Amino acid sequence: MDLEYGEEYEAFRKTVKAFLEAWPLQGDEARLPIEEQEALFRKRGIEAGFVYRNVPKKYGGSEQPHDAIKDQIIQQEFHRVGAPRDLATQAAGMLVPTLLEFGTEAQKERYIPPALEGTEIWCQGYSEPGSGSDLASLQCSGRLEGDEWVLNGQKIWTSGAQRAHMMFGLFRTEPDAPKHAGISYLLVPMDRSGIEVRPLRELSGGFEFNEVFFDDVRIPAGNIVGERGQGWAVSRATLVHERNLIANPFLMREAFDDLVALARERKRGGRPAIEDPWIRQRLVEIEGYVRASETSNMLQFTAAHRGEFEKAMRPMMMNKVFSTDTMQRIMKCAYDLLGGDGLLAPLEEELDTWARTTTPTGWVLQYLFSMGPAIAGGTTHIQLNIIGERSYGLPRDLRKSG
Ligand SMILES: Cc1cc2nc3c(=O)[nH]c(=O)nc-3n(C[C@H](O)[C@H](O)[C@H](O)COP(=O)(O)OP(=O)(O)OC[C@H]3O[C@@H](n4cnc5c(N)ncnc54)[C@H](O)[C@@H]3O)c2cc1C
């Protein structure tokens, strides 16, 4: 595999680096609240053609020709300087690509610009108490009455619902159709009467998850993406983007570097832990996984660069499984290195941050958090089933009929 990008791309890298010299912001701008600083960064990134490159200008994107190598260089450089990580929110990273593929012109014009600007926050309403892996069995209903959908039922594990303005969700609108064909993808304003959001406390002590209840909630009939009963196909598009968001090789490398620093800093038997053969062995093993994940990511990106999207799918699905597994190995090793400090509870002010893992309580938080991504967006077991069935033609998993 040729890992050199060539002259043209290295010149492009220089332009990205030059742009990033203005981050973090300086002077008066550095005193703005962090959300405003990030909004400024995003706006300038769009103007410079580095942010939201696949989105047409008329919807607020920077509309650049598809180039996977440039995308990769931008990701690398943005990551290197710690540029805002909220560029790929559920709205920008999942809803927007879905609307670009399935939305009407009016929906694209109405919803994409505020989603990119971050002024309209979205949450994802898929999972229900009885429907997670077997999502197609979902029961939350949408009944068309005149020019309105009437929604009833319950969603669960809805990340960020407590601050969301809108939800993209799946509702059973065709109760008599076979289960996959009875679902529609609806856009729900969260301020409608009949919606109740109840927070759920997480392992870490934070409140990011919610239950969302719908009691005769009325939304306009036009708030449907795709056709009635086509929601399953539309939601699959969103999930592909979600799995891609979860598998981030740069975060993994960064966490591994932090783990090595921690092993140098912590003591075992009066000496730096990194000198302990058992710890060294674990670090080497984990680095093997990190490098394997990076290579797999390169395979995905090479296939995408060549326009071979089908070929990119297999490493993409594997990347979600292996990157979440590797992150867990990194965090478990760090947790073991912490010894008694591992019993400290994460601090209140750390719960909402994506800061690098440098404090003991920050490591505890990341250790607890590392369990979630292997479940979110489809569990590891489900991913392995999909890889086995679709990529290797293995016999299908046993399924309930319907
Ligand atoms: C961090 C995080 C964020 C999330 N955010 C959201 C969100 O914003 N919106 C949303 O809608 N949902 C969200 N979820 C929910 C997530 O999509 C579900 O948790 C996930 O799909 C699994 O569903 P479940 O929890 O009902 O588990 P279940 O489906 O009940 O699975 C339980 C166990 O059984 C295994 N299992 C199930 N079926 C099979 C099978 N056929 N073969 C082998 N093993 C199987 C699973 O792998 C798992 O280990 C989030 C979850 C997490 C952890």
Query: Which residue reads 């400024």 in tokens?
Result: 40
pLDDT-based confidence at residue 136 (cuts at 50, 70, 90): very high
| 179 and 153 in a common domain | yes
The residue that leads in pLDDT, 348 or 235, is 235
Query: How many Å lie between the centroid of ligand 1 and the Cα of residue 131?
Result: 8
10 is catalytic: no
pLDDT-based confidence at residue 3 (cuts at 50, 70, 90): low
Query: Is residue 102 in some structural domain?
Result: no
**Residue 402: is its pLDDT beyond 50?**
no
Q: Which residues line ligand 1 (CB under 6 A)?
A: 123-127, 132-133, 157-159, 372, 375-376, 378-379, 381-382, 385, 397
Question: What pLDDT does 149 receive?
Answer: 98
| 221 and 253 in a common domain | no
| 42 and 131 in a common domain | no
Q: pLDDT tens digits, residue range 177-224? A: 999 999 999 999 999 999 999 999 988 888 889 999 999 999 999 999
| 268 and 306 in a common domain | yes
pTM: 0.91
Per annotation, catalytic residue among 128, 208, 242, 350? 242
Number of folded domains in the chain?
3
Question: What pLDDT does 87 receive?
Answer: 66
Question: What pLDDT does 294 receive?
Answer: 87
**Residue 128: is its pLDDT beyond 50?**
yes
Across the chain, mean pLDDT equals 90
Domain containing 219 — which CATH number? 2.40.110.10
> Residue 271 sits in which domain range?
247-392
The Cα 233–Cα 212 span in angstroms is 23
**Residue 246: is its pLDDT beyond 70?**
no
Query: Is residue 101 in some structural domain?
Result: no
Question: What pLDDT does 367 receive?
Answer: 92
- Report the DSSP beta bridge partners of residue 272: 267
pLDDT cut 90: percent of the chain above it: 62
Domain containing 277 — which CATH number? 1.20.140.10
| 219 and 144 in a common domain | yes
| 208 and 150 in a common domain | yes
Q: pLDDT tens digits, residue range 164-182? A: 999 999 999 999 999 999 9
